Amino acid sequence: MSLTRNQIKELRSLNYRKAREERGVFLIEGIRMLREAAESDFTFVASYYTESVRDDPGWDALAAKLKKRAPLVPITAGDLDAFADTVAAQGVAAVLKHREIAPESVISNSAGRSLLVVLDTVSDPGNAGSMIRSSDWFGAAGVVLGRHSVDLYNPKVVRATMGSLFHLPVARDADLPVLLSKAAGAGYTIYVADVAGESHFDRVHYENKSLFVFGNEAWGVSDQVKELAQVRIGIRRYGAAESLNVGVACGVVLSAIHRLYDE
């Protein structure tokens, strides 16, 4: 079946933040992303597929799961191309409701180990998505995006998470000074990644309850947030590069935490 012009227009509008916020929904594309979402607690509004996806060996099983979550609508390849954000959408897409998580809810009050990652004004969608993915890989309990960071449901952010958005709590629009103060009160040690950090990242003893803040690609962590840090950590430069990508820095630091934990 073919979608109407208005339906295509509405779906295409989800590539823009204003429409996503007004409707409280976002768009995902691709077999892998829908498979991950189908196993999560996100709420589906509708899923769409073209004939080409039937050739995928896992489609029948995925289709059965999608039908249980929301209407599964057959559409033409032309319709999908008209609203998809990617050049090759793999013949399948879905609309999901935003999952709103209170930033304070990711703070654990237990005595056990808890690792949190906070993004302070990270503006590049690819960086934000890869940081969520790295946080998932290294077992973070949650990720929080500060109030001025890129929109969590930007299509490029969602794609860059490679499904990790559906694996762990990710909160957005946080007032970071308030959040960090509450985290410190709950026993977290606050570490800020800073190019001028006094402590080299792999020489630090990380506490069981650790919160890491990574800042903007151009100017780093804001001064207001730096003032709340107990430890400022840096990554020593060995070559001539002017700076290190914040997404890469996040992965480097998180990998060191577990290496030192396990020693």
Both tokens of residue 1? Answer: 């079946």
Sheet holding 114-119, edge to edge: 170-174, 142-146, 114-119, 209-214, 189-193, 231-234, 199-200
Domains of the chain: 5-97 (3.30.1330.30), 103-262 (3.40.1280.10)
Q: How far apart are CA 68 and CA 65, in angstroms?
A: 5
Phi, psi for residue 145 in degrees, rounded to 5: -100, 125
Please list the pLDDT of the chain residue by residue as tens digits (263 residues).
Answer: 789 999 999 999 999 999 999 999 999 999 999 999 999 999 999 999 999 898 888 899 999 999 999 999 999 999 999 999 876 668 999 999 999 999 999 998 777 889 999 999 999 999 999 999 999 999 999 999 999 999 999 999 999 999 999 999 999 999 999 999 999 999 999 999 987 777 778 888 888 899 999 999 888 899 999 999 999 998 888 898 888 899 999 999 998 887 655 55
Which residue, among 158, 123, 130, has the nearest Cα to 14 in the 3D structure? 158
How many Å apart are CA 174 and CA 133, to the nearest integer? 19
* CA–CA dist 186, 77 (Å, integer): 51
Alpha carbons 161 and 128: distance in angstroms, whole number: 8
